[in-house]
Chains A and B, each alone.
Chain A
């Protein structure tokens, strides 16, 4: 975090006081200046209005029976306590079983997508560390999927995965002769694979970007010293690069986890709103059960449960990584 010089504290006063006072005694600023709070006010108001208050409202909504009959005037919706939670979290009901399946799919999806994206991003960044001809071009090319708007990227993949007219089946069936029959990619078992490929394609460039930024902080001398000691590529990677990347990776993996777990865009655009069960991520599942059946009460209950899960995982992760950092 920033180090603040003692002088910075005095910067907060009104300018005329400093300018107009005789040189004898410097103007004493009020110890608790209002200025930083005024500077923060717009950000705080906006975050409150769009994130915090709606979240609290959402938590309240999860305790109501909020169906299409009560949407116009939802203060009149009956209070049902934890009933919504009981229904959506009970795996013996259809809704609960659906949610559990969707949760499982999301966990596997997140682990694979984040893991593989991280491996690809790190590989590319490490390989681009050494200057060579064409490096700048590759760097720009690798960042393109990240810069591309989500929907154009995913729509293009939808086209690639079309059964009769798509590139994927053309290559697999016609060119490589790996399969006799063109499979469906956007329904059935394969849809999970399709979803994962699209997700990795869009995610790994961000990992690449962050790791690249992190690599710039490793002084060349470290590598020179390692080379002097006779360390080969893998040894340098294990003993210099990865340990030095640790702070970047800690943040990167957490951010990727949260983004991927909450991912809505990829399945929504890829499958057109109603994903096959094999690829029904939790955000899409909640969206569908809220806006298609207009049951906002249980939709909110699922959202709150999801948030609690993410909070616990994040807190656990931070505690674990912090403790290990302190041990080191």
Chain B
């Protein structure tokens, strides 16, 4: 199938425009991070005339970025690990067993994606506060509360993707293991999981990203001590001044690892989506 010249040129033009659209904000993030404060507060310039790494030094003291970073790391990693563990068991059940309520479970779990976050934010806030007052279990304004909340956010999509992945692993492998006397859990851990590693990794990245980027619940369910980056970065804007170069420097630092991780694993992500969406 030959490509005509017209097709080739329209492809180049459209892709160039899209590249520009995507790239410009990313470029501004990087180039502004290496400008001195006066330069980001003056008229915009494409090229940093006096490049400096000062913003990367100052950003740690303008706001307690270290603490926010630590909170985000802790909350996002713990939530991701637990969410994936829970999703693995659930997906294994849905993929390998026929049981009463299987369909209902799948539909219900996916439909929680539909709820407006704001709808259960208010009650969850009040439940956490009241639970704390009544029993002393501190979920409001604690990292634990945030972890428990976040791990449910990535759950539906993770289960859905893992079911697709597990379904693509031949049943013959399970049966061979069972003939050798392996029980269901050993079959899961020794046969199904090793074959689904790419899917599990992709889902872990997704769960981490979800928790790392959440804003709404973080802005209500945290206080100064438990605050995550999502809310903390807004601290660079004071009443008198916005430290744009430091905002960009901090944004860069918190984005690069997540973006790199995602891009390194996007192949598996696409494979997981394909497995899940085609059925």
Contacts and interface: CB of A to CB of B under 8 A. Distances in A.
B1 A224 contact: yes
A89 interface: no
Contacts of B258: 147-149
Contact of B123 (A1, A57, A212): A57
A251 B277 contact: yes
B106 to A, nearest CB: 8
A7 B171 contact: yes
Interface string A151-171: 111011101100011110110
Give the most central of B7, B40, B183, B266: most A CB within 10 Å: B183
Contacts of B19: 138, 141
A39 B89 contact: yes
B86 A43 contact: yes
B118 A287 contact: yes
B229 A151 contact: yes
Contacts of A142: 18, 22
B26 to A, nearest CB: 7
A227 B109 CA distance: 43
B213 A50 contact: no
A210 B277 contact: yes
B201 interface: no
Interface residues of B, number: 108
A74 B130 contact: yes
A173 B220 CA distance: 39
A296 interface: yes
Given A43-B159, A54-B124, A156-B25, A213 B274 contact: yes
Given A156-B29, A159-B244, A164 B43 contact: yes
Q: Is the interface of A mostly helix, strand, loop or mixed?
A: helix
B28 interface: yes
A11 B216 contact: no
A68 interface: no
A127 B14 CA distance: 9
A281 to B, nearest CB: 10
Contacts of B87: 43
Nearest to A169: B44
Nearest to B261: A147
B57 interface: no
A191 interface: no
A219 interface: no
A91 interface: no
B184 A152 contact: no
Contacts of A314: 114
A138 to B, nearest CB: 6
Interface in B76-120: 86-87, 89-90, 92-100, 102, 105, 108-109, 112-120
A18 B95 CA distance: 22
B175 interface: yes
Give the most central of B14, B163, B255: most A CB within 10 Å: B255
Contacts of B274: 213-214, 216-217
A167 B93 contact: no
B133 interface: yes
Interface in B111-152: 112-124, 126-127, 129-130, 133, 148-149, 151-152
Given A50-B120, A201-B25, A300-B123, A152 B233 contact: yes
B247 interface: yes
A219 B250 CA distance: 45
A43 B22 contact: no
Interface string A228-262: 00001100000000000001100100010010011
Contacts of B120: 50-51, 54-55, 58
A37 B73 CA distance: 32
Give the top 7 A-B pairs by smallest Cβ distance, nearest first: A15-B183, A147-B262, A152-B251, A39-B93, A303-B119, A54-B120, A170-B44
Given A32-B99, A283-B216, 5 more contacts: A8-B98, A37-B99, A151-B213, A232-B4, A269-B215
Interface of A: 1-2, 4-5, 7-9, 11-12, 14-15, 18-19, 32-33, 35-37, 39-40, 42-44, 46-47, 49-55, 57-58, 61, 71-74, 120, 123-124, 127-128, 130, 138-153, 155-157, 159-160, 164-167, 169-170, 174, 201, 205, 209-210, 212-214, 216-217, 223-224, 227, 232-233, 247-248, 251, 255, 258, 261-262, 264-265, 268-269, 272, 283, 286-287, 290-291, 296, 299-300, 303-304, 306-307, 310-311, 314
24 contacts: A1-B279, A33-B99, A43-B90, A57-B127, A61-B122, A127-B14, A140-B266, A142-B22, A143-B262, A147-B209, A148-B255, A148-B258, A149-B212, A149-B213, A149-B229, A152-B233, A165-B244, A213-B270, A213-B273, A268-B215, A287-B121, A300-B122, A303-B122, A307-B119
